Structure 1
Amino acid sequence: MLDQSRRRNLSAAPFLEAAAGRTPSRTPVWFMRQAGRSLPEYRRVREGIAMLDSCFDPALLAEITMQPVRRHDVDAAILFSDIVVPLKAAGIAVDIVPGRGPVIANPVTTAADVAALPVLDHEIDEVAQGIALILEELSDTQALIGFVGAPFTLASYLVEGGPSKNHERTKALMHSDPSVWHALMERITTTVIRFLHTQVSAGIDAMQLFDSWAGFLTERDYRAHVLPYSKQILDSVAGMIPRIHFGVATGELLPAMATAGSEVMGVDWRTPLDVAASRIAAAAGPKVLQGNLDPALLFAGAEPLQAEINLITQQARTAIAAGHATGHIFNLGHGVLPSTDPQAITDAVAMIHQQ
């Protein structure tokens, strides 16, 4: 059994009220990548410090997590981390190269590589300590969302050796040697679950499973080669905290992703919320929606931004009225772009809270 003694009782937090399908006091909003390069205070504290070093420094990861909460009045903090943190903690040689992303020193290509792949078998104390610091500062209306990468995206980094435009080696392994593929996914899933349990035991209020690259798959391949493992991760914390499932360019995969078991489904900006809701509900019943402002709209000025926020809010209300959704958490359809003016984010949050 997981230790949940550190979980807070947040009966008035708008994010958690919406995630439970109840009516919040205001439309809750948080933004993916709200803690990051768009903030000058982030750039100051990260100066000269490598990304992964930041993720393993309790005081620094807590400070970075809290910066957008202080500045923007968002309703939830998202734990500052990276999807490869549990791989690094397990002992895999991985680095985040500026301008490129995660790079794996020894890509996984054979059954022997998979068998030798380290699996996380301990708590990540630095992350747990950082979460404790975050919880000390958050108010009882502000939730802390934990974060783990989905196994397909992690598998792609491990197989390709880094970011890939086409994921050709990953798909080739998936189809040419399914036994090796499934063995790899099982090891990754074990590591991700252990990292997630570290966060739950430390006191996170909710979690998001983030699949950067699933949108490159057909629905058939997703169901056969990915869905069972994402479901295992979500099942491992079922009944403990609200679970969000989000992938990029996954409009066609939403029916499959919805069956993985999360209470909240994230939707990127490519699919209108009411359309997404009907796809989700048909496959798995109505769920809470999260999304889905195009991050580029934060560059468009107040009038277009307000119009788009109004439209998304109306799409969510239409879906709820139709019985296709049970609530709405406002977010971007992906992450805050690094060159975004922080004031535009603050203004967007204020507009959303007026809905």
Structure 2
Amino acid sequence: MSFEILVPSLPESVSDATLVAWHKQAGEWVNEGDNLADLETDKVILEVPAPKSGTLVELVVQDGETVVGGQLLAKLDAQQAKPAPANEKAEEAILSPSVRKLVAEKDLDPQAIAGSGKHGRILKSDVLGFLNEQQQDAPPAPAPAAETHSPLSATAIASLRPEQRVPMTRLRAKVAERLLQAQQNAAMLTTFNEVNLKAVIDLRNQYKDRFETKHNIKLGFMSFFVKASIEALKRFPAINASIDGSDIIYHGYYDIGIAVTTPRGLIVPILRDADQLDFAGIEKGIHDFGNKARNGSISVEDLSGGTFTITNGGIFGSMLSTPILNPPQCAILGMHAIKDRPVVENGEIVIRPIMYLALSYDHRLVDGKEAVQFLGIIKECLEAPAHLLLNI
């Protein structure tokens, strides 16, 4: 029975997709549910599962082509059972173990050797005789030519400096488009501050084992920054807002985007209603997003929306940066590497774990005073985590 394999329904706001690669080829057997191909959209990778078990008869669309929902991708001949493979053991039985080893060592085709044994069985003497005939028929090796050194041609010189032109992936092209949009359409400005993370590190070290035992998830730093950001957003609602034309939209909820780097590029999954999550809920949400990003199962819904974004360049060793807005959001918080630095406390120089923070914001909506005070609130919450735990 023949089946047509179609492009699955694409998510809302996605008009087309690119066929990245076929995982099965025409003539191959596939089992029901096997991933036949990957389709790349602007945001996610979609899998094309086999509707039935059978033989893939024809690939209608090739790698790199653009497809739309419902388009024919391939044809499948559905069968109840996989055809039995040809029995190769019967052919191998003609050869004794020693003959089989000799044939393999000399890379010979047994079909080309005439067997003199019973029922045409190939003997070791047959193989040796075949090799002697090949050596006698082979033309004498030519005398080695005198070694010469000719100057390299322009083509040879160019080959020493290779270049490769490849098309952007859809995700990379979309990221480029949105970053350029942010630069062109927003009055973007960045303000900085530094935070002493000794209190957070001490608290984490004291309770991380008990936390992991109880919640089955590790206690990281990101949950502290999410909690501190929400506290600051509550005090400065303009930073949680967005601009739509000539209107300002104030969001009465806190959907926090967490920038995640994947082999395909940067994505920003959204923690919905993050203000209603405890530390364990935030850590579990971030962990789930990481798993989905690695195995390619993250959905468009996971990436849609968001009122504020946090990005952590510190995991790559970044000391300081100016993060770019994620439109239509009007602010993004940049975390950086934690480094031991000398600071003055109570008139004395001490060493403390310091992180530089960067807040990029749309100056059309957020004033400099608000941005500076916003970072001040985050600094205050992180340097005295009791603010987050006691809600004061």
TM-score interval, smaller chain = under 0.3
TM-score where L is the length of structure 1: 0.21
Query: Which structure: greater strand fraction?
Result: 2
Which structure has greater helix proportion? 1
More relative contact order, 1 or 2 (CA 8 Å, 6+ apart): 1
TM-score for both structures, normalised by structure 2:
0.20
